[in-house]
Amino acid sequence: MEENKQYFSTQLLRWYRKERRDLPWRRSRNPYHIWVSEIMLQQTRVDTVIPYFNRFMDRFPTPQHLAEAPEEDVLKHWEGLGYYSRARNLQAAVREVVEQYGGVVPSNKKAVSSLKGVGPYTAGAILSIAYNQSEPAVDGNVMRVLSRYFCLEEDIAKPATRIGIESIAQELIPDGEAADFNQALMELGAMVCTPKSPSCLECPVTQLCLGRLEGRERELPVKTKAKKPKPVFRFAALIEGSGQHAGKVLVRQRPDTGLLARMWELPHIEVLDAAAWDMLALGKQEIEAALSEDGVKVKATEHVVGDAQHIFTHLIWNIRVLAAVALDEEYVTDRTSYKWVGAEEFESFVWPNVFRKLLTEYFIQSRN
């Protein structure tokens, strides 16, 4: 086992220093940059994150800039990455860093781990990559690599397994090499030891990989399947304005807390199931009744503008959009959660991806 560990660490570092990708957050040891990149990379591919990271850093180059920014501005620069609670938690934690630590990301494990939205992996990444401390940073890539290399059969979905793998990962870190070693582990999982088709012939540690030697590299790691997200069915209303609101669409802002908090959307309602989703007359009536409770008088139609889908971790929104017109356009004021939005103002609002796409298509078609 000791020979395997020594071989693994030596070969992995040698490979990484030759093959490492040039990523913008790797160009310094700035803990703020590393922190932001790790939050963005949660549930998101590297290629997707790069332009977002660069744009975010241009706008919020220091913790002070991010702490002082309006939340709407932060969300606008996050728009398209999804999982918006990440951005809110990041800003809340950065404000704590500015207030309590003078804008310097703490290098103390207890302090950094107490920040909002910073779990064991993110804390380990910050401490090891920015401060070169011998802390493990164990994510899905790392658990997959080590499960295969050491032929571990424990279920990686269980917290006890993660703790065990964190212990192994920490033992593997060579003295003074935590920053490169942890990034090398992540890189190997992302580029070579991939989930479905590991490239064993290209792997720097293939010679002593127990999973490969036993022919089990495609079986490992063991992981119980998560529950499939629940499908729900919704009707949305595309309410077009007339007169002084011609060319505009009526949208609403979501509540201050909960799913997609404070983001803008087309008004929509949930129906019972897929069968109800096919009943356009029902959708028309339900939309009119629900909006009437908000004081919004509309006449919906059974004309389907389009269908769309928004996938969350635990839910799948299936959205059918019906055309509608407002019966009383003047009730909408700055004191309500509803606004008339035209193509020229559209970009200044923060939208969930599904509604951004729908409205982008609508305004493009309107101009044509």
Specify whether the CB–CB gap between 182 and 124 falls below 8 A. yes
Q: Provide φ and ψ at 83, rounded to 5°.
A: 45, 60
Q: Tell me if residue 219 is catalytic.
A: no
**How far is the C-alpha of 352 from the C-alpha of 356, rounded, in Å?**
6
Specify whether the CB–CB gap between 35 and 105 falls below 8 A. yes
Q: Provide φ and ψ at 231, rounded to 5°.
A: -80, 135
Alpha helix ranges (H) inside 42-177: 46-59, 63-68, 71-78, 85-101, 109-113, 120-125, 140-149, 159-172
Tokens at residue 145, please?
């690599």
Largest Cα span, the chain: 78
Helices 159-172 and 140-149 pack at an angle, to 10 degrees, of 70
Q: Is 152 exposed, middle or buried (0-12, 13-18, 19+ CB in 10 A)?
A: buried
Residue type present at position 37: S
**How far is the C-alpha of 170 from the C-alpha of 136, rounded, in Å?**
5
CA dihedral 349, 318, 358, 226 (to 10 degrees): 60
Measured at the CA of 156, the angle between CA 6 and CA 112, to 5 degrees, comes to 75
In the set 2, 3, 19, 38, the catalytic residue is: 38
Buried b (16+ CB within 10 A) or exposed e, 174-204: eeebbbbbbbbbbbbbbbbbeeeebebeebb
Helices 71-78 and 85-101 pack at an angle, to 10 degrees, of 130
All residues at 6 or more sequence positions from 179 whose CB lies less than 8 Å from its CB, including other chains: 29, 128, 129, 130, 132
Report, as residue numbers or ranges, the catalytic residues.
Answer: 38
